[in-house]
Amino acid sequence: MLTRALKAGVHPDECKFTAGSQIQQFECPERLYVPLQQHLGRKAKPVVKKGEIVKKGQRIGEADGFISANIHAPAGGKVKTIEKVMLPNGVFDDAIVIEVNLESGEVAEPTWPMKPLSELTPDDIRIIAREAGIVGLGGATFPTAVKLTPPDNVKIDTLIINGAECEPYLTADHRLMLERTEGIIEGAELVRRAVGAEKVFIGIEDNKKDAIQKFDELLKNKSGWEVVSLRSIYPQGAEKNLIKVVTGREVPVGGLPFNVNVAIQNVGTVYSIFRAATEGIPLVERVVTVSGDAVSNPGNFVIPFGTPAKLVLERCGALFDEIEKVIFGGPMMGMAIKGYDVPVIKSTSGILCFKRAVREKPKACLNCGKCVEVCTLNIAPTRVVKFIRAGKLEEAKNAGLLNCMECGCCAYICPSRIPLVQWLRYGKFMLRKMEAQK
Amino acid sequence: MESILLSILTMGAIGLFFSAVISVAYQKLKVEVDPRVEKITDILPGANCGACGFPGCANYAEAIVQGAPINKCSVGGMAVAELIGEIMGIAPEDVVRKVARVLCQGDNEKAVWAGEYMGIPSCAAANLAGGAGKLCNYGCLGFGDCEKACPFGAIKVNARGLAEVDENICTGCGLCVQACPRNVISLEPIDKRVLVLCVSKDPGKISKSSCKVACIGCGLCVKKSPEGIALENNLAKIIDVEKINDESIEKCPTGAIRKLE
């Protein structure tokens, strides 16, 4: 076992209240609203019609292009209609509404080769990831099949399995690592085979000692595999940061992990590959942490995609009168939703309800330099933001605006409560606009 | 006394020498400029707004001399076009005066706000942060990016949080159209007096729940004037103002289609 730590970053209160609660299966609701845009890239094309009977796991949306993902029915039933529903980002987009028939236990035949795990070739594994609609479950939802297809001239030597889960409150990956340890290891083996890596690291933060121990026991005698214990700090789970912490290699600005011969996958993602390969079930549900001070029964649940937030919150005893803010994802990088009808999708790692939202007016910058200290990507946020405020976008770009991954450390630490991340986002938008006009 | 005299004489001699050099250089290295360019530049309003499609007034003046149409300046309008026409010796065709129109009526009372926004007071920034809690993803956010962009003070965010154009001041330069992150503002001929004041492409059920004055795509107006209005993307679209029946405007259940005074 190795121990490593990220330099810089912040350490908010962990608030991992649900770390001890076992994963429970969430009862499938009577009606599911399955959005066609649950991933990064092009929206899937619907392949079912109104009135059609679908089986569980049947493909209902087809990937439209290379960077896109298939969408499957999370439960058997009848397609009621295709209508617009609000997504976590507030945009209304097409979703397939399924009237669930709970009695039908029929599961659709997988559209990928079902073989013993040891016989699966790298191509088979890529087909599984593509066909089963698997995307990165860490939050970015980038189609996994693309990540498993390194360019021909690149030799991947290291695979990192990301179990950092550095966002406060979230415990979905933690529970998954404890309860589905073998599945994760088998899934990681498949990914290792697909990308051709020799070395596998499993990075877990040390606030999950039980998970580290469990993996360490299972992997002690497996050569080439190593568990990395990481000192808890945010944003260690961000791809580029974890690569740097574990391997010491730095991904160039605008580059991908491929550029430093590394592949990286979240624990949830590798587990869903394992599940698709063994049980033939595509990505139709995920573990979601429901927590926050406005929920009386927090916990970790396996929730089918398309389940409206309202049902989840009702089941967990949310105090609807007192809720001020509901966040999809973690508190640092998640999105506040604008209505309770928003369905759970592939990117939903948590649903957090809070009684109080931060509401402090920003004050003037003190030039204290705290934001510079915490930035893991070597940006001086205060300087870049000053350029943006002055409309000097070229200078902001030269000062590293485009490095920013919007992790939120600078805004979290700022004693003047300046919304630095929003300024940086705004700066990126204005820069793109300016460059497009040229 | 002597030193003062000496320095005056030296400086004067140096001055004379260099002025001679410059005057010779001026004659030798002279660049021929069409005198009309300067004249036209003087006539143009000097707003450098770019509405003509050229980076600034001087560039447009150069382009005119090289044969660009003379009626592109919407700020100066017909008066400027006539003056340029005199210089160029051609008759100006009619300049259609265009003004900016804010195609949204969803102010703080009529549109539904699902949340409170404490971030940067700019439409572009708010739009990136889930639309500042405004449920409608298409309508005016009211932080005044257009107001800041307008060089003439013609567009202002009113007390109800909605951008408003003073058509008497608006020159139709289009800078507000570019500044608006939601494309709510559109340049329309000033004599087009019937407008659909909504840009929401959401289906009626959704737009109705997010705003009281949204176009819900019901098609009542199309029924009354099938040749004047068409339905496109859940939104009424004016094809021909002449063929719009007044009943179309009266019958609109939400008042999204309006006749301006």
Convert the pLDDT of each residue in A386-411 to its tens digit.
999 999 999 999 999 999 999 999 99
Residue contact A335–B130, C-beta within 8 A = yes
Q: Is it true that the peptide bond before A235 is cis, omega within 30 degrees of 0?
A: yes
Structural domain ending residue among the three candidates A279, A314, A337: A279
Question: Could you list the residue range(s) of the whole structural domain that residue A399 is in?
Answer: 370-437
Residue contact B124–A89, C-beta within 8 A = no
Pick the residue of A341, A426, A430 with the most B CBs within 10 A to test the interface with B by mutation. Answer: A426
Together in a domain, A375 and A268: no
What CA–CA distance (Å, rounded) separates A120 from A277? Answer: 9
Rounded to two decimals, the ipTM of the complex is 0.84
Pick the residue of B113, B117, B137, B208 with the most A CBs within 10 A to test the interface with A by mutation. Answer: B137
What CA–CA distance (Å, rounded) separates A275 from A302? Answer: 14
What percentage of chain B carries pLDDT values higher than 90?
36
Is A395 contained in some domain?
A: yes
Listed residue (A438, A436, A430, A421) closest to A392, CA to CA: A430
- B-chain residues within 8 Å CB-CB of A89? 130
Q: What is the pLDDT of residues A53-71, one digit of tens each?
A: 999 999 999 999 899 999 9
pLDDT reported for residue A76: 93
Using CA coordinates, name the residue in chain B closest to A437.
B178
Alpha carbon distances (Å) from B27 to B15, B22, B23, B31, B168 = 18, 9, 6, 9, 49
Which residues of A lie closer than 8 Å to B, measured between beta carbons? 83-84, 89-92, 325, 335-336, 338-339, 357-361, 419, 422-423, 425-426, 429-430
Spell out the per-residue pLDDT of chain B, length 261, in tens.
889 999 999 999 999 999 999 999 988 888 877 888 888 888 888 888 877 778 888 888 888 888 777 877 878 777 888 888 888 887 766 667 788 999 999 999 899 988 888 889 999 999 998 888 889 999 999 999 999 999 889 999 999 999 999 988 888 888 899 999 999 999 998 888 899 999 999 998 899 999 999 999 998 998 888 888 999 888 999 888 888 888 888 889 999 998 887
DSSP letter for B225, please: -
User: CATH code at A157?
Assistant: 3.40.50.11540
- The answer to whether A284 and A72 have CB atoms below 8 angstroms apart is yes
Q: State chain A's mean pLDDT as an integer.
A: 93
Question: Helix, strand or coil for residue A74?
Answer: coil
Together in a domain, B109 and B153: yes
B203 closest CB neighbour out of A84, A357, A430: A84
DSSP A313-338: HHHTTB-TTT--EEEES-TTT-EE-S
Together in a domain, B252 and B188: no
- B-chain residues within 8 Å CB-CB of A430? 124
Is B3 contained in some domain?
A: no
- The answer to whether A5 and A77 have CB atoms below 8 angstroms apart is no
User: CATH code at B202?
Assistant: 3.30.70.20
- Rounded to 5 degrees, φ, ψ at B32 are -75, 120
Contact partners, residue B166, CB within 8 Å, separation at least 6? B154, B155, B156
Rounded to the nearest 10 degrees, the angle between the axes of helix A122-131 and helix A267-279 is 100
Is B254 contained in some domain?
A: yes
Q: State chain B's mean pLDDT as an integer.
A: 88
B120 closest CB neighbour out of A89, A325, A422: A422
Which residues of B lie closer than 8 Å to A, measured between beta carbons? 114-116, 118-120, 122, 124-125, 128-131, 133, 135, 137, 181, 202-203, 206
Residue contact B114–A338, C-beta within 8 A = yes
pLDDT reported for residue B81: 83
pLDDT reported for residue B95: 64
Question: Could you list the residue range(s) of the whole structural domain that residue B260 is in?
Answer: 193-261
Q: How many residues does chain A have?
A: 438
Q: What is the pLDDT of residues B200-242, one digit of tens each?
A: 999 988 999 999 999 999 989 988 888 889 998 889 998 888 8
Distance in Å, alpha carbon of B114 to nearest chain A alpha carbon = 6
Structural domain ending residue among the three candidates B88, B119, B152: B88
Instruction: Give the helix ranges, DSSP H, for A51-154.
Output: 122-131, 144-147
Place of tokens 């009113």: B158
E strands present in B77-223: 98-102, 155-157, 163-165, 185-189, 194-196
Is A350 contained in some domain?
A: no
Is A256 contained in some domain?
A: yes
Listed residue (A20, A11, A13, A23) closest to A300, CA to CA: A23
User: CATH code at B53?
Assistant: 1.10.15.40
A413-433: average pLDDT? 94
For chain A, the domain total comes to: 2
